Each structure stands twice: as C-alpha cells, then as structure tokens.
Amino acid sequence: MDIKRARELLERLKNLKILVVGDIILDRYLYGKVERISPEAPVPVVEVEREEVRLGGAGNVASNLVSLGVQTFLTGVVGEDPSGEKTLELLKEKSINSLVATDSRPTTEKTRVVSMSQQLLRIDREDRNKVSGQALKHIREAILEGEYDGIIISDYAKGVITHKVMEAVKDKEAFFSVDPRPINKTLYTGANLITPNEKELREMTDPLGKEEIEVLGKVLKKELDIDTLVVTRGSRGMTLFTDKVQSFPARAKEVYDVTGAGDTVVATLTAFYLGGAGWEEACELANICAGIVVGEFGTASVTPEEVLRELEEKGT
C-alpha cells in the first residue's frame, strides 16, 4: 500500500462513529526489581517501584479506535468500586464517550507483576455472576438509541455479551464485528466480521486439531453465516476468508508482548473497512498495527503517525 492511499484511509477514520460493546477490564501493572529470593518460599521478592493502570478488554478496543481518530463510544459494566471509578477516569482522559453502566458486581481487574520487562505473575480479580438486569437494560439502550457506523463486540466471556444484548445489536441492523470467545459461539450468527485466533477457531470447529485452518475457516463462516472471517495466527500473520482465502504475513519487527493484540486487530479491521478500505487493504493495515503493539509491553494502541512511519520504513 502506498503512503498516499494510507493517508486517505486514515483521514476518513475521523468521520466514523463506532460503538464498542463488551467486557471492560482494568489492567494494572506493578513494575519492580528482583534482587533476592524469599526466605519464606522459593519465589522471587519483587520490590515495587511504580504502578500503572490501563484500559483492557473492551476498553482497549476503544483505546485503539480513539487513538486512530475514530469517534468512539463504549458500553459495558464496571463495579461501584475504586477500580470502576478509575476506569471511568481513564475513559474521560482518552476522550472515549462513556455509555458504561455501573453494577454491584466488582470491576474486572488484571494485575501483572513485572520485573526487567518480564511478566512474573498475573492476578485476576473478577466475579462471573450474571450482570444485573438494570445494567443490561442500560447496555441495550446504548446500542439501540445511538447512531453508529458500526459496532464491535469485544467478548471476554465475563457476562456482558448475552443473547439479549446480541439481539439488540442485530436489531440495530448496523455493521457489526466480533472478537469472539468459543463459549459464546452461537451468539455471533450473522456477524459481518469475526476475528478469532487460531486456537479459538479450532475450539469452535475442530477441538481435536486435525483439519487445516483453511478448511476450518470455511466451516465456521458457513455455520454462523458470517460475511468475513479473519483468523489471527501469531507469527504467521492472518488469514482472510471472503469468497476466497488469502494469507497476510506478520509485520512485527520483534514480538515483545502479545497482550491486547486481538483488540487491536478487531478495532483496526473494522475501522479501516468502514472507512472505505477493501478487505485486503484492511488486513494489510491491521497487520501493521498489530506488529506495532506486540513490540510494546502490555495493552497498547497505535497512532496514524506510527502507521505511516512503518509504511515509510518498509518502502511501501
């Protein structure tokens, strides 16, 4: 793709309005140094030097969109707790339009302990009990009452993506894409785009892992009546299923951390396609964006300037 075409597509993103619906996670990072082993057990002692919080899950999808200039809306659930308050603060700081409901259920939070750029431990705090009816009503209203060019479903199987929520998405009759979880497979019927990774595709079609990806993609696409399927394959890039099958090599210089790469892929594929890119162009640009974020630690997002710089460096 030449620079002129990329600039044109990036400029078009500013006119889009996209709603992200899904499981919002607060990502917390504890950075420190390890200089000794605990006398209490054979584990490293981490002396925490700094702490950082970022938007994760559906929040990271929204962060990726707004970073590219998309007018971004987010709905989901946070708890009535300090982590929920912090999440709402981050949304405001990033200029993400919050349509988020609060609930008595605590905010989902992942804490990663890091030393020397190495993740030592992840601590998850979550409650998978059902989201309250009032919160789900709020989410459905956010979907049905707004005007959007497209909707992204960011499903982390934490309880937000339900049959009724998906009914509202389909009633909206807008373009919708899905970053899926196999457990909720049947909810995604009729999606315009679905972006499983290779492992998720196998779980949804061939748990024993005997068939080729090119076969399984066609099976899932037909079974769920999906318009377009993109399978992310790590170091092997991604495979696009439309009326034909095409593969795109990975663009990462160095894989540093894959956290949130799937969020980046569904966000960028959706945005560029809605902005007028063909699917081949969207995959090329999404590959570039994913290659940038896996070169950074933790959940990250990409700016238009980074995309253009990457294209210039590749001489395309």
Is 263 annotated in the active site? yes
Q: How far apart are CA 50 and CA 227, in angstroms?
A: 45
Burial 218-247 (b: 16+ CB within 10 A, else e): eebbeebebebbbbbbbeebbbbbeeebee
DSSP 8-state code for residue 214: H
Q: Is 140 helix (H, G, I), strand (E, B) or coil?
A: helix
Strands 97-98 and 101-103: unpaired
Provide the residue type at 180 as one letter: P
23, 103, 257, 263: the active-site residue: 263
Maximum pairwise Cα distance, the chain: 61
Cβ-contact 242, 217 below 8 angstroms: no
Give the catalytic positions in this structure. 263
